């Protein structure tokens, strides 16, 4: 009546084998997710590159014509257009001024908070994140309505974008500087300098800033990438920056406009990659939220 259980009918799975199986499943899921993510980003870029640099229409695209009709004439016409060149000059000027303004405003503030009042750091972090809470269109409309009747010359200048861009990039800059100050233990350096008789300016310019170079480079790179790709503020204020003029140029020359947009995207990504790689060689890890 009873059943007989033999040793051959029992399969023993050790905890080690279970962990190996779970690890293989997790690895397969991870690589699958990375492959889907790569396809999500690469397929549109490949289609964009084909349209921008290949003159063969999609309807006539066959395996025989896959590698024919490629050229950079559209990109060359866009890069030599006087309007595009002027917009590049305007955007680069805005990048430099935005970086300078952010450092002038936030570097002293971050130093004071770190060495004198660390308890106010959460409040200051929350304040620097406020520009991301307010939609750009609401911010521009409110500021423009205020300044149009008082200082109209300010809104007429391309430099009126600098305060907007400085506010918009404030979270990047402050978090990079704050994490950099904490990484070098700025409070200890400050107290050591004061005990040796150094003035505040000497401590800031000869001790803290040289040690903050990596954080400042990261903040400048992120700010530059943001300014070069920002469209909402410039479009609402009717400024001829590079993103705005690329859209205008694309209406008359779609291939040239897309080719220029692709090149700007690749150059921006390459610049950020070079910055991150240089910082990692110095033993500094860069994260999305700071240093």
Torsion of CA 78, 80, 84, 89, to 10 degrees: 140
For the chain, residues with pLDDT lower than 70 are 1-23, 59, 61, 278-291
Per-residue pLDDT tens over the stretch 213-252: 888 888 888 888 888 888 888 888 888 898 899 888 888 8
Whether 221 is covered by a domain: the verdict is yes
In a domain, 62, yes or no: no
Instruction: Determine the pLDDT at residue 127.
Output: 85
Q: In whole angstroms, what is the distance from residue 107 CA to residue 110 CA?
A: 5
Task: Answer whether residue 33 is part of any domain.
Answer: no
- Residue 11 has a pLDDT of 52
Q: Please report the pLDDT score of residue 23 as a whole number.
A: 67
Q: Which residue's structure tokens are 């950020």?
A: 272
Residue 37 has what pLDDT?
Answer: 87
- The answer to whether the CB of 132 falls within 8 A of the CB of 171 is yes
Q: 154 is in which domain, residue-wise? A: 73-281
pLDDT value at position 288? 44
Establish if 129 belongs to a structural domain: yes
Return the closest-CA partner of residue 78 out of 250, 268, 267, 270: 250
Residue 45 lies in a domain: no
Residues contacting 55, CB < 8 A, separation 6+: 69, 70, 71, 255
pLDDT number for residue 62: 72
Domain count, the chain: 1
Residues with Cβ within 8 Å of residue 264, at least 6 apart in sequence:
228, 229, 242, 246
Does residue 54 lie in a domain region?
A: no
Residue 106 falls within a domain, yes or no? yes
| pLDDT for 94 | 94
Q: Please, what is the Cα angle at 51 between 49 and 52, to 5 degrees?
A: 65
pLDDT of residue 14: 55
Q: Specify if 53 maps to a domain.
A: no
CATH number of the domain that residue 104 is part of? 1.10.3720.10
């Amino acid at each position: 009546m009873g059943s007989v259980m033999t040793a051959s009918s029992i399969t023993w799975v050790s905890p080690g084998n279970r962990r190996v199986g779970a690890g293989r499943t997790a690895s397969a899921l991870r690589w699958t997710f990375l492959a889907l993510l790569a396809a999500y980003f690469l397929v549109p870029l490949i289609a964009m590159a084909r349209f921008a640099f290949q003159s063969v229409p999609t309807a006539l695209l066959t395996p025989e014509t896959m590698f024919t009709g490629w050229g950079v004439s559209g990109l060359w016409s866009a890069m030599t257009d006087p309007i595009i060149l002027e917009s590049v000059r305007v955007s680069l000027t805005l990048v430099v001024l935005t970086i300078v303004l952010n450092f002038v405003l936030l570097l002293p503030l971050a130093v004071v908070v770190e060495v004198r009042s660390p308890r106010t750091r959460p409040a200051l972090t929350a304040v620097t994140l406020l520009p991301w809470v307010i939609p750009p269109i609401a911010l521009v409309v409110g500021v423009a309505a205020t300044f149009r009747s008082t200082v109209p010359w300010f809104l007429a200048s391309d430099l009126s974008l600098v305060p907007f861009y400085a506010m918009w990039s404030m979270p990047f800059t402050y978090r990079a500087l704050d994490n950099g100050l904490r990484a070098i233990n700025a409070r200890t350096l400050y107290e050591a300098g004061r005990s040796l008789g150094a003035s505040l300016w000497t401590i800031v310019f000869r001790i803290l800033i040289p040690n903050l170079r990596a954080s400042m480079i990261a903040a400048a790179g992120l700010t530059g990438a943001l300014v070069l790709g920002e469209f909402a503020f410039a479009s609402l204020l009717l400024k001829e920056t590079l993103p705005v003029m690329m859209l205008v140029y694309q209406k008359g020359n779609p291939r040239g406009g897309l080719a220029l947009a692709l090149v700007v995207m690749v150059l921006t990504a390459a610049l950020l990659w070079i910055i991150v790689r240089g910082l990692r060689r110095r033993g500094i890890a860069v994260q999305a939220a700071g240093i």
